[in-house]
A and B are shown apart, each in its own frame.
Chain A
Amino acid sequence: MIRDMVFLKLWGLVNERSMIVESLHDLGVLHLQDEPGEALSPESAGELKILRGKALGLLEALGWDEWNTIPKKNLEEKRAILSEPDETIIEGIRESLDAFSMRLTEQVALKSELEGRISSVRSALRTLYHFQNFITENSTKGMDVTLWWVQRVSVPDLVSRIQKQISEKDPLGGDSKTPYHSSVSPGGETIVAIAAHPDHVRIVMEIMSASDCLPWLLPGEYEGVPYRQGIPLMEQAVGDFPRRIGEIDATLKRTKLEWGPKIGALFVLLDEKVEEILVETASETRGEIFRLEGWVPLDEKERVTDFIKSRFGDRVLVKWRDPSPEEWANVPTSLKNPPYFRPFELFLKLMPVLGYKGLDPTILIGIFFPFFGGCMIGDIGYGIIIALLGSWLKKMKHRPLVSDIGSILLFVAAWSIFWGAAYGEVFGDIGHRLLHLEPLWLERSQVVIPVMIFTVSLGFAHVLLGYLMGFVQGIRAKHRHLWLERLGNIFVLGALLSAMILVKGWLPGKFFSIAVSFLILGLALLLAGGGMGGLVEAFGSVGNILSYVRIAAIGLSSAILAMVANSFVDSMGVTFIGIFMALTIHLLNFVLAVAGSSLHSARLQYVEFLGKFHSGGGTQYKPFSRRKPELWKKR
């Protein structure tokens, strides 16, 4: 059902505006006529918006997203403090957030640095392990070993130049050989280790530098440490760094658990306050008086009046009026259905918003969707499993969408069990084999045609109902073409039904003229309502009705697949493989049955039924209210 709305005009004193807006926020029923825009936010909201942004940034940095864990009591206490945020409070929040941000940044930066260092130390160790034997061997001979990055120069050429220089400088130096060893790093660069007598190290450095070679150094604080001493030090560091990173991770996790809900609460309160300031700014002010206006559901009118009266007495003037027909296009649409059918409002969320004077099909969807779905599944065993699944999902109250799906599944389960009894199916033919269960109506895997006729008849009734609703919708909206076309379709379908009854001989032949009259009248109305397009629509409606045969088709495939699953036990015996195969195919069939029946039943609602009368063009009712915790992030 679409709730009736009334227009509220409220006048109050400017010096009480903040309190009045806060009270309306608490009430959470006023849909503001002019939604305040963030882009035009006043300066007073600017500071709070910056703080809100900082708080959200910190939550992102912490990786915190558990809005449901914000303690309500905490929220209420802090809401009172932030009700009138002065400069001192804003300054205090800013300083706290900045200090927290700095500490968090320090920890994250330290972790990042350690991760970088551990990588460079490991890389250096790999290089040193490669040259370890060379370094040890030559160091014991009293030689100095230096490592170099070599680019675009031949290593043997370099070494021969070094040898030549050493020979020239010290012709009697005895053995003028210069041991070297080279390696290619994972990055593709060549690293060469050159051993030289301490007196000749200078020559090595000069030649290498002149050849654009860079010295290979140990990373970070190990730079300058001799290679042989560096290895144990770096090995110790490689063992120590993960521990330190682990400590930082633990600190960040503790911080997230402790401070996430607190900063989350702060974000919520800042967001609420910003919203209130924006509403205050959007109100029309004249001198000492301001005015707010918007739509309120009629069933909330009394509560709003009493609430404002009790809080502000005669200092606030409230006036109500009903929407005029010219305003219907702008009146927000709010649905209110019985609790059992409320989950089915989900189907309308995928459609354009209903117009204020539209027809709410939620209850009809709540009746037909599970009925069709259950008729397709038609198995007591599957129905029980769906009921268990639905009960489990329904308990997830903190996730409204999942809970709603759970409720819908319970309806589907009830109809599945009903149709399962009608077809005599419990996990296919197991019920018949073990429990001697007989179908109350017929066995659909054996008798196909009656089920098909039944589903087409069902489709006829459903499509006809859709056209009737379209007719009513056309009359209500004073849309002549719509109601003429829908009425024409009703007559054409009536003619079709009469003709079929006559063919069957259930009515005497003299009723033939009635069928022809229906057809002529229907075609005339179709031409008047929609022209040639209207005639095409009539053909489409026959296709729509035949489309319901999918209920029988999908049901049949599901029943046969279940029997195929059971036949594995027949052919393989009660063995592990036989039972495993049967269970696997039943699982596949169950998934297909649930997914297929939901999808096809939804399609029948959307295409064949809603398409006959549903028209969008409405405005969603969005009350100025404090949102539920799980919706905070979705701003």
Chain B
Amino acid sequence: MFMNSNLFEPGKSKPERSFVQLAVKQNQRFDGRRSNECRDVELTFGADWGTVAVSMGDTKVLTHVTCDMGAPATSRPNEGKLQLNVNLGGVAFLDEVQTTHDQRSLTLNSLLERTFRSSRSVDLESLCVAAEQHVWCIRVDVNVLNHDGNLYDASTIATLAALMHFRRPDVTFTDDELRIYTEKEREFIPLLFLHYPVSVTYCIYKSSGQPIVDPTLLEENAADSVIVLSFNSYQELCSLNAGGTAPTNVRTIMQCARNAATRCKSLVDFVRKALLLDEERRLQGGRLVNGLVALIGNTQHKLSFNKLMSCQKQEPQPAPTEKMELDNESSEKPEVEEIEVKEEPSKQETGDAPMDSSGWLPQDEDSQELSIPSDASTSKAGKGKQNRSKNKANKKPQQKKQTDHSDSEEEARQYI
């Protein structure tokens, strides 16, 4: 790992590594964050549908979604296609050796594939125009502009935001004639989602048991292992990528998973909120972001996670409190059962983990999650699938316009 990696990026020399280990041990980070604190996420929507720039600190990712008519795969004749492309050209300066470049882009690509495609987050069946003949091919281009650690989260957030922002033209297929309408003729249609996944990254060091979230490039390179967890807004696990050499116990992973689940939920809420604001801006006919430079550099249109979510907290939020009560009632019984099933450490953990604000995390969900680390990275959350198909059934009559509220209602209903 050490020799074939290049020395241009930080965290490759011994002093750096031992210093980071020491810093983590003393619970210090270079930018003054706490170990469970994330950098601010900033979203900028471009003038085109499906163009989003995301920045987390100095990490910058630009994502663009395009669509095209094409023929479906023979194995899935009634499903559209979703293609995820990663372009690391912007950080080519980091890759002295071809192998590191390949490795980096492969990891990122497989994370995106697992998070969005294998977990079937986009309803591909709705992209079918005529079975076996015409389907929509959605192509997501993820351009990495700058890399300062945690490319994973930045690109999943960017991909999710871009897909949610994207609108495809309406199309009709009659008498073997395909007709695609322009935006003037018929309004564009947003994509349908079955669930909304994003990822959260943790770094684990041998010197300390405490994982740190949202690592910078230095922290990431000096880490002994990196764990990337993707959760959707229903707090179901979509993918888990744990590698490296640091010994990690179930407890640490569970702690990460719990925190990641809440973080993912708030990230999705943030993206939704940002989309609403963007829509408002469009309706008002406000000035859109012009051109790439403005998209990356413009501070005026930036939607910051910290700002948006902090003002949301001030608003009275009936939904979560309601749910909490519901959960408390409903979960009382399962909790007793769980004490018998679960090992003790995970029980303690709910008590002592200081950063664990997920006390309201539904308990039955917990037990579901607990089984996940055991069947490791390929886990596709089989039980989640049932839930999801249920969601799908619920959603179908409502069709689009899925607001935050209806979502949480649905979620609550399942747990009762």
- Are chains A and B native binding partners rather than an unrelated pairing? no
Spell out B's residues near A (CB within 8 Å). none
Spell out A's residues near B (CB within 8 Å). none
